[in-house]
Amino acid sequence: MAFTSGCNHPRFTLPWRTLLPYLLALHLLQPGSAQLTVVAPSLRVTAIVGQDVVLRCHLSPCKDAWSSDIRWIQLRSSGIVHHYQNGEDLEQMQEYKGRTELLRDGLYDGNLDLRITAVSSSDSGSYSCAVQDGDGYADAVVDLEVSDPFSHIIHPWKVALAVIVTLLVGSFVINVFLYRKKASQSRELKRKDAMLGLSAENLKELASKLNKNADEVEDCNSELKKDCEEMGSGVADLKLLAAKLGRQTKELEKQHSQFYRHFQHMDSRAVKQKKLVTKLEEHSEQMERRNVKLEAAAVKVGQQAKESEKQKSELKERHEEMAEQTEAVVVATKESEKPSEDLD
């Protein structure tokens, strides 16, 4: 029998026997009051590996679930598949991160649908949709069954048939390869026989050409002998020239050795002259230092001479003063003696 379940959900067809326990529970839990409940329109959801699936639940009576605490829980591991609270998605199991989505468009109508993407065989099991808000707590269970169409059991006779077919195909391929190889070998042998027939004729032609070439080589040898005799006379002349060149090279070596010794003697003289120049330079520097010292001593002597002259002039002045003083004393004594004589 068809009916519309949930809040603005599509139609689902469920037997009355399946819904009867839920209706009785609703009547027992709601004695005349609108108590919060969660209803699962489809208790069993099927999917194939790799598909996206939606687990559907809704509140009864329908109400806004935007500010509710909604949790989808995997009953097998008791892990949180998706946790929603006050408009935010909270922590969840590592296996479901990035694969779940709570369809928020239906929250205002009380729908608690959860989408799981790319389901796998490990996602099979029971899931609990739990809701808690100010009115209370309620939950419902949905079973998910994921099937893999490629995980069928392979029968032994199928394996044996596959092995036999593989062996037959392999033997056919090997036979074809061997046949083609023999055919190519036979064609190659025929081609080589034809080439050998042609090579025999070519060898005869080559033999006649070689005979002609041998005659030409004999003629060339006779000409080379004549050339060798002429070259022999030229070689004797070259030997004489070589002897003369040897003597000239010896003379040049002697001259070179003489020049080398002369250059060495000149180098030694240059070294000695350089040493003498350095000594003269050192001696001139010493003489300059001595001249500087003598000049300083001469200056000192001149200063001393000037001082001695000053002292002499001072002594003369003192001597003259002393002479004047002695004369004055003598005059004074003479004058003092005259009145005494007058008195006598």
Measured CA to CA, the distance from residue 4 to residue 41 in angstroms comes to: 9
pLDDT, position 10: 47
Measured CA to CA, the distance from residue 129 to residue 9 in angstroms comes to: 17
pLDDT, position 239: 84
Measured CA to CA, the distance from residue 162 to residue 144 in angstroms comes to: 36
Question: pTM of the prediction?
Answer: 0.39
Measured CA to CA, the distance from residue 3 to residue 50 in angstroms comes to: 30
pLDDT, position 28: 41
List of residues 6+ apart from 90 with CB closer than 8 A: 83, 84
Nearest to 51 by CA among 122, 97, 142, 116: 116
pLDDT, position 295: 84
148 burial level (CB within 10 Å; 0-12, 13-18, 19+): exposed
Residue whose tokens read 């005869």: 204
E strands, the chain, in order: 2-4, 11-13, 37-39, 44-48, 53-55, 58-60, 69-74, 79-85, 88-89, 100-102, 114-116, 125-133, 136-147
SS3 state of residue 71: strand
- Contact between 58 and 110 under an 8 Å Cβ cutoff? The reply is yes
3-class SS string, 63-108: CCCCCCEEEEEECCCCEEEEEEECCEECCCCHHHCCCEEECHHHHH
pLDDT, position 18: 45
pLDDT (tens place) for every residue of the chain, 344 residues total: 333 455 665 444 344 344 444 444 444 444 434 578 899 888 889 999 989 999 999 998 888 888 889 999 999 999 999 999 988 899 899 999 999 999 998 888 889 999 999 999 989 999 999 998 876 889 999 999 998 877 655 556 767 888 888 888 988 899 888 888 888 888 888 888 778 777 777 778 887 888 888 788 888 878 888 877 878 777 777 888 888 888 888 888 888 888 788 878 888 888 988 898 888 888 888 888 888 888 888 888 888 888 888 888 888 888 888 888 888 888 888 777 766 555 55
Measured CA to CA, the distance from residue 209 to residue 206 in angstroms comes to: 5
- Contact between 102 and 89 under an 8 Å Cβ cutoff? The reply is yes
